Amino acid sequence: MPKKLPLYPILFALFSVLSLTSFNVSQIFIGEVLRPLIFSLTLAGILFWITNLALKNIHRAALISALVLFLFFTYGQVYSALEGRLFLNVNLFRHRTLLPLFVILGLVGVMWILRKVKYPESPTYWLNLGSVFLLIYPSLTISSNLVQQFISDSSARKSNNTQNGSSANETPDVYYIILDGYGRQDILLNEYGFDNNEFIEALQVRGFYVAECSQTNYAHTLYSLSSSLNYDYLDFLGATNDAERVTLIKQNAVRREFEARGYTIAAFPTGWSMTEWTDADIYPDYGRSFATLTEFETLFLDTTMLRVWTDYDRQNSTTTAYSQARRLRVLSMIETLKELPAREGKYFVFAHFVIPHPPFSFGADGEWLEINVDTASHEQIVAAYLNQIIYINREILQILDTLQSESDVLPVIIVQGDHGPSPDLTNDPAIRMPILNAYSLPGVEADEALYPGISPVNSFRVVLNRYFGTSLPLLPDESYFAPNQDHERLGLVPNSCP
């Protein structure tokens, strides 16, 4: 590292993006980092350049730039940590107080550097070195995950040998519809006072078997779907890290089964890269523009001083860019599902609705809604969750009516929660594990093939056995809960069904 060349402002800007990436690397496409990275490095470069032009001293300009960048990139994190905290029963930590405080700190720091620092080049070497050390951990974390992902993907591709199955022309379309965070009927009633019986009865009228004692096998999406889409438990599948679990979702046994039988694979953008099959035969756009922010980009902005703008946008706009993108994905998925029966060929469809799970952006009638779960009361969060259930109930019934009435052969349909209410509502495993789990299996005696406590790990064992001639034994229905703070700390949870 050159001793006399102050690179630390640029390196710190790089760290601001890479550190956030390292915490979220298993849930994002690495390409989502590009725009935040360009923004951060451009901001640092312009600030450094302008400051140097004004001061005619590269080292003093570097110190001031580093100070300003530090305040800019940490503001949102400090705000999140202090938001809602009271001092003498007064909420002092709002943008109207915290932003001026940061500005004052910045001005004081700049004046100190200009007047008191006689040798601004002295700390250059150590600040350069410290910035390099800051980059080591996130860089290794990201690199390790990418290597694990590559190895896991390569292994999965090698194991994807062609299978012989029944002709797709003789078999039904199969729809796997995930409603993220959708709890079981008794939980919704007993814990939140919401009677979902009307929706359950509507499913039954449409020929669905609703497993009234079903629990998820895992309390978190990445674990739950990597298990259900491979119809086995993760310890048997050998998934020991997030990269391997992501691969199990993207290159799963269920998808391989249907591809081998000539099915067309349809999937959808979800906003969570771990559940997006971008290489599916059908992967519809949802009307996004270049300016549409991804979840990671929104998260990044919220860690910076631009949190002031994003919060203002949330409070004063009819819809924020982030909320609009989420709504567009959900609405596009609803419309595309209704169009699929009219298309030629046989389809396996994986539709992961990130609803009723937060963030909340739909009211009960589908109107725009945005609730900040970090500041909302428990009662507000529960109300928002239930409103999204009301909304998606109505839309799902319309989808089911279309699929069943317009398909040449009645389709197999699974409507399933990947887990129960999210950690924003509860940390109780007895509430988190029970899920909605409903099956439409045309031509199959549901009471003979299914049972009240069936869990997602056995869903496709039943479907493949009944329609495609496999002989997969049903597994014990077990549920493993892990707290939100440590997804690896799994513990067996008994079924809470009355």
Domain end, chosen from 108, 143, 178, is at 143
- Close Cβ partners of 56 (under 8 Å, ≥ 6 residues apart): none
pLDDT of residue 206: 96
Spatial strand order in the sheet of 209-210? 209-210, 437-440, 412-416, 174-179, 347-353, 264-266
Domain end, chosen from 88, 110, 143, is at 143
- Domain count of the chain? 2
* Cβ atoms of residues 299 and 24 within 8 Å: yes
In a domain, 153, yes or no: no
Bin 325: left if φ > 0, else alpha if -120 < ψ < 50, else beta.
Answer: alpha
Same domain, yes or no: 132 and 170: no
Same domain, yes or no: 405 and 299: yes
pTM score over 0.85: no
First-to-last C-alpha distance (Å) of the chain: 66
pLDDT of residue 128: 93
Same domain, yes or no: 107 and 214: no
Per-residue pLDDT of the chain (498 residues; tens, 9 = 90+): 455 799 999 999 999 999 999 888 877 778 889 999 999 999 999 999 999 999 999 999 999 999 999 999 999 888 877 766 666 566 666 788 888 889 999 999 999 999 988 999 999 999 999 999 999 999 998 888 888 777 766 665 565 544 444 455 578 999 999 999 999 999 999 999 999 999 999 999 999 999 999 999 999 999 999 999 999 999 999 888 888 898 899 999 999 999 999 999 999 999 888 899 989 999 998 766 556 677 788 888 889 998 887 776 655 544 555 667 788 899 999 999 999 999 999 999 999 999 999 888 899 999 987 777 767 888 999 999 999 999 999 999 999 999 999 999 999 999 999 999 988 888 899 999 999 999 999 999 999 999 999 999 999 999 999 999 999 999 999 999 988 778 788 899 998 786
In a domain, 161, yes or no: no
Phi, psi of 279 (to 5 degrees): -95, 15
Please report, for the domain that includes residue 421, its CATH number.
3.40.720.10
pLDDT of residue 165: 46
In a domain, 196, yes or no: yes
Could you give the CA distance from residue 362 to residue 243 in angstroms, rounded to a whole number? 31
Same domain, yes or no: 93 and 197: no
Same domain, yes or no: 397 and 292: yes
In a domain, 159, yes or no: no
In a domain, 340, yes or no: yes
pLDDT of residue 254: 97
pLDDT of residue 80: 79
10 Å Cβ neighbour count for 241?
Answer: 14
10 Å Cβ neighbour count for 174?
Answer: 23
pLDDT of residue 396: 98
Could you give the CA distance from residue 442 to residue 210 in angstroms, rounded to a whole number? 14
Could you give the CA distance from residue 200 to residue 197 in angstroms, rounded to a whole number? 5
In a domain, 21, yes or no: yes
- Close Cβ partners of 353 (under 8 Å, ≥ 6 residues apart): 177, 178, 179, 180, 270, 330, 333, 392
Same domain, yes or no: 331 and 186: yes
In a domain, 135, yes or no: yes
Same domain, yes or no: 281 and 414: yes
Same domain, yes or no: 295 and 341: yes
- Close Cβ partners of 252 (under 8 Å, ≥ 6 residues apart): 226, 229, 230
Bin 373: left if φ > 0, else alpha if -120 < ψ < 50, else beta.
Answer: alpha
Same domain, yes or no: 33 and 110: yes
Same domain, yes or no: 103 and 178: no
Same domain, yes or no: 137 and 170: no
Mode of pairing for the β-strands spanning 174-179 and 347-353: parallel
Residue among 333, 329, 162, 340 at smallest CA distance from 265: 340
Same domain, yes or no: 476 and 329: yes
Q: Strand runs (DSSP E) across 154-245, as ranges?
A: 174-179, 209-210
* Cβ atoms of residues 237 and 227 within 8 Å: yes
Exposed/middle/buried for 42, CB within 10 Å: 0-12, 13-18, 19+? exposed
In a domain, 425, yes or no: yes
Q: Domain range holding 259?
A: 166-493
